[in-house]
Amino acid sequence: MVTCLTGARFVQKADILRSGGTTVDPDSGEWTTKQDPDSGEIIRVWVPAGDDPNTPGTESEYLKSFPCEARGIIDGGIRVAGTTEHFGDQYNAVDYVRISFPTWVKITRRDRVTNIRDKNDHILWTEEERADGAATVFSVVGVTPVIAPFVGHTENVALLERVEVQ
């Protein structure tokens, strides 16, 4: 009965983009690496099948939805803040989200999470700098199981970090 009550709180939804080509349809595309022109960093990007990798396209048809509860981390202590800017030798904008989800959803550090939305399908995290208002893409920092006394594994919790290159 506890797991039913726990599952009832997952009224939000999110989409997961699996790394390594594991998607709803394995023939829909593939992961590839490319170099970011601004930072020089080698990044992994999803390339839908039949599309030019330099042409951005919609990823929504290649994503798998799952129920969740997502909360932005407002403040995590004296030196850590969930949504903040750091000025120094290098500018760094940080956004973190704590997301809880059922035990049957399997997320790894290689996955990305996007399209976090409420029960009415309104996207909660969007990119302000983009004219199209695209959903923010988050990388998975880590996943931790939540264990309840006398019940066992009831849910998982993941810490998500905004991907620098959207």
> Percent of the chain having pLDDT more than 90?
23
SS3 content of the chain, % helix, strand, coil (to 5): 10, 45, 45
Distance CA 162, CA 15 (A): 14
Distance CA 29, CA 117 (A): 24
Q: How confident is the model over 88-116, as a mean pLDDT? A: 86
More confident residue, 140 or 21: 140
Neighbouring C-beta atoms of residue 10, cutoff 10 Å: 18
Q: Please identify which residue in the block is written with the tokens 């996943």.
A: 143
Q: Poorest-confidence range of 4-18, 26-40, 41-55, 56-70?
A: 41-55
Neighbouring C-beta atoms of residue 93, cutoff 10 Å: 10
Q: Please identify which residue in the block is written with the tokens 């990798």.
A: 53
> Percent of the chain having pLDDT more than 70?
67
Distance CA 161, CA 164 (A): 9
Which residue type sits at 38?
D
Distance CA 159, CA 98 (A): 5
Q: What is the pLDDT of residue 42?
A: 78
Burial of 8 (0-12, 13-18, 19+ CB in 10 A): exposed
For the chain, the distance separating the N- and C-terminal CA atoms, rounded to the nearest angstrom, is 41
Q: What is the pLDDT of residue 59?
A: 43
Q: How confident is the model over 111-124, as a mean pLDDT? A: 91
More confident residue, 81 or 156: 156
pLDDT digits (tens, 9 = 90+) for 49-75: 654 444 444 444 445 889 999 998 876
